[in-house]
C-alpha cells in the first residue's frame, strides 16, 4: 500500500500546486487531485506540462472527485453532470483511475430519494465508463440530528447493496476508516467486494467517545486515536487484495494551523508507520 494525501488536511491557504509540492517534499507517494485547479494548470502549461509538474513534485495523481455530486442540490448536480465528460477526460489524461462521489447522510442534504439516488449515480458512472474511470462511492457514518437521517447508505454493507442496484461494473466503494467506525461497518462485508471493483481508502483515526458525538473536525492522525488501523488495513488487503493508495484525510484545525511543510511531514510519518506495520 502507498501513502497519499488529501488537500483538506493541510492549510486552506495553500494553492493546489503548492499543496502538491509540499506533499511531494514530505514523501507522500500520491495526492488526491482537485480537477478545477488542475484544469487551470492545463490551460497554462498544457497536459504534458501538468504531467511534468506532478513528476517533478515526486507524487502521482492518485484519485479525484467529480462535480456531479449527489450530496449537492439537484441544480448543482445537473450542472456538474454537464461537466463530467471534460472532468473524466482530464482524469484519464493524468492516469487517474478512480473518481469519488460522496453519498448524502442527511435528509436535508442533496438527494434523499433512494431511486433517484441510484439513477444519479448511474448517470455519472455511465459518463465515467466511456473514459475508463471507476466511480468510488464514499458512505458517511456521521450521525445527524434526530429526524435528519438520510435514506442513503451509511455502512459498507449498505453501500454494496446500493451498488448492486446501480449495476455497473465501474462503480465501487471508497472506505474511510472514520466513517467505518462511526457507522458500524462490519469486517465480514469486505468479502462481498467483488474482484476488480473500483476501490479507494481514506485513513484517519478517531478520538475516544460515543460515535454519536463524533464529528468530522474531531478526526486525529493515525496512531493518536482508538482505531486499530493496522488490523483494519490487513483485513481489507486479505479480503480484496488491495495494494493501492491509502489517503490521509483530516479536518483537524490544529494540523491546519501548522506550517504546511511541518504538518505534511508529521502526517506522512503517521501514515508510513501504519503502512509499515501492515506490510510486516
Q: What is the pLDDT of residues 164-194, one digit of tens each?
A: 999 999 999 999 999 999 999 999 999 999 9
C-beta of residue 59 within 8 angstroms of C-beta of residue 31: yes
pLDDT of 114 over the 90 cut:
yes
d(CA 4, CA 187): 23
Distances (CA, A) of 191 to 103, 186, 195, 233, 241: 22, 10, 10, 14, 11
C-beta of residue 271 within 8 angstroms of C-beta of residue 205: no
* Banded model confidence at residue 67, pLDDT cuts 50, 70, 90: very high
**pLDDT tens-digit readout, 14-41:** 999 999 999 999 999 999 999 999 999 9
pLDDT of 262 over the 90 cut:
yes
Q: Mean pLDDT in the chain?
A: 96
- Give pTM, 2 decimals: 0.96
| CATH classification code of 61-279 | 3.20.20.150
Domain spans of the chain, in order of start? 61-279
Q: What is the pLDDT of residue 119?
A: 97
d(CA 195, CA 18): 37
**pLDDT tens-digit readout, 86-97:** 999 999 999 999
Task: Tell which phi-psi region holds residue 246, choosing left (phi > 0), alpha (psi between -120 and 50) or beta.
Answer: beta
Q: What is the pLDDT of residue 148?
A: 86
DSSP conformational letter for 122: H
Distances (CA, A) of 117 to 47, 100, 145, 163: 34, 15, 22, 11
Amino acid at each position: 500500500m502507498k501513502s497519499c494525501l488529501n488537500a483538506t488536511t493541510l492549510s486552506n491557504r495553500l494553492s493546489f500546486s503548492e499543496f502538491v509540492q509540499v506533499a511531494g517534499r514530505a514523501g507522500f507517494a500520491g495526492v488526491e487531485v482537485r480537477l478545477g485547479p488542475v484544469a487551470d494548470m492545463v490551460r497554462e502549461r498544457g497536459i504534458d506540462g501538468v504531467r511534468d509538474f506532478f513528476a517533478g513534485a515526486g507524487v502521482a495523481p492518485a484519485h479525484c472527485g467529480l462535480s456531479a455530486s449527489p450530496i449537492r442540490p439537484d441544480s448543482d448536480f445537473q450542472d456538474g453532470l454537464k461537466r463530467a465528460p471534460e472532468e473524466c477526460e482530464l482524469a484519464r489524461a493524468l492516469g487517474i483511475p478512480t473518481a469519488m462521489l460522496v453519498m448524502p447522510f442527511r435528509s436535508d442534504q442533496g438527494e434523499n430519494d433512494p431511486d433517484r439516488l441510484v439513477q444519479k449515480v448511474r448517470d455519472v458512472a455511465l459518463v465515467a465508463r466511456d473514459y475508463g474511470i471507476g466511480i468510488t462511492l464514499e458512505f458517511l457514518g456521521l450521525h445527524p440530528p434526530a429526524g435528519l437521517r438520510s435514506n442513503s447508505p451509511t455502512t459498507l454493507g449498505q453501500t454494496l447493496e446500493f451498488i448492486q442496484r446501480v449495476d455497473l461494473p465501474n462503480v465501487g466503494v471508497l472506505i474511510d476508516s472514520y466513517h467505518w467506525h462511526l457507522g458500524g461497518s462490519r469486517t465480514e462485508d469486505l468479502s462481498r467486494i467483488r474482484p476488480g471493483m473500483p476501490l479507494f481508502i481514506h485513513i484517519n483515526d478517531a478520538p475516544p467517545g460515543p460515535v454519536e458525538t463524533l464529528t468530522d473536525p474531531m478526526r486525529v492522525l493515525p496512531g493518536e486515536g482508538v482505531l486499530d488501523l493496522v488490523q483494519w488495513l490487513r483485513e481489507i488487503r486479505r479480503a480484496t487484495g488491495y495494494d493501492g493508495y491509502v489517503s490521509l484525510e483530516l479536518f483537524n484545525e490544529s494540523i491546519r494551523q501548522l506550517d504546511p511543510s511541518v504538518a505534511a511531514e508529521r502526517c506522512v510519518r503517521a501514515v508510513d508507520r501504519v503502512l509499515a506495520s501492515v506490510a510486516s
